[in-house]
Amino acid sequence: MTGARAGTASRHLVGSAVSAVALVMLTAQVASESDAISAFDAGTWALADRALGTSGGPWLGIGGWADLAGSTLLGVGLLAVLGVLLGRRRFGAALWVLAGLTVQFAAEMLLEPLVGRLAPVPADGTPPDAEFSFPSGHMASATLVLVVLLVVMRTGTPLWWLCLGMGPLLVAAVGISRVLADAHHAADVAGGCLLGLVVGFAVAWRLDVCLPPNISGKEA
């Protein structure tokens, strides 16, 4: 591995470590049920709600348009990153992505009962899901997929710039959809993003180590 790629790989590890520290800090705040977290959740939900104009209708709730849109965006992103790798016959790299998603899911399953945060009460007054809600698995997976997609594509190409510009907006849309669907609090979405960064940067480091330069996109 060249010096430039080694530096990039090291930055991926630093990004994973910093994200892990931030995730631990947020987890502690959520588990302690701090007032700051409650205010953040309430303010974010109200902002997302006002952005769509109404406090009811087909956008909101489990099974609503927001719920469907978020799940669809996540599925498209996952297929995109796997399609890029399989199209280039990088089967080992595709397995690393799937391994990363597995690790992310395992971490999610560990954190949920550890924090013990219940899902939000739906706006229509129906009983909430009995499942724990921190962190958001949808948001974690979407963030992981975006990080890996930017790593495996050739840096500086129009498609790479398109992903860099549109990717964060689409990931944010997934997070907003989980709030509007009453599936997660806003802090759950933030926790999911941090978890996705922790695992995504770790997978990115591994891909920079094991992929040839013309595949990872770091060198011409």
More confident: 69 or 17: 17
DSSP letter at 57 equals S
Overall number of domains in the chain: 1
Which residue stretches of the chain are H helix? 3-31, 35-51, 65-87, 91-115, 137-152, 158-180, 186-210, 213-216
Residue 195: which residues within 8 A CB-CB, separation 6 or more? 23, 104, 107, 108, 111, 135, 140, 143
pLDDT band at 126 (very low <50, low <70, confident <90, very high): low
pLDDT at 216: 44
pTM for the whole structure: 0.84
pLDDT at 96: 86
pLDDT band at 18 (very low <50, low <70, confident <90, very high): very high
Domain enclosing residue 125, as ranges: 3-216
Distance CA 25, CA 12 (A): 20
pLDDT at 139: 92
More confident: 82 or 113: 113
pLDDT band at 115 (very low <50, low <70, confident <90, very high): very high
CB 122 within 8 A of CB 128: yes
Tell me if residue 219 falls in helix, strand or coil.
coil
